[in-house]
Amino acid sequence: MKRIALAVTALTIASIAVTAPASHAAVDFDELRRENLDKDAVDFDELRRENLDKDAVYEVVAAVDFDELRRENLDKDAIATV
C-alpha cells in the first residue's frame, strides 16, 4: 500500500513539475490583438470609440432633468393631498 501511495505521489509531483512552467507562461495579449487585427478581425477599440461617441450624443439629446421631474411629482403629490 505504501508503494502505491509513494508511486502516485511521485507521479503527481513529476506531472506538476512538467506542466507548471508551461501553464504559467505569460500570454502577450497585445501581440494576439495585433495578429487578430491583421486577420481583419473586428476592431473592438474602434467600435468602442464609436459607441462612446454615440452615447455622448445621445446623452446630450435625451438627457433627463430629474430635478424637473421631482418638482412635477411634488406638485402632483401636493394637489392629490389637498
Q: What is the pLDDT of residues 1-55, one digit of tens each?
A: 888 888 889 888 877 776 656 666 678 888 888 888 788 777 788 888 888 888 6
- AA letter at 30: D
- pTM comes to 0.27
pLDDT tens for residues 57-79? 665 556 778 888 888 988 887 67
Please report, for residues 3, 18, 27, 39, 45, the alpha-carbon distance to residue 32 in angstroms, rounded to integers and kept in the order given.
47, 25, 8, 11, 14
Whether residue 43 contacts residue 37, with contact meaning beta carbons closer than 8 Å, is answered with yes
| Domain boundaries along the sequence of the chain | 42-82
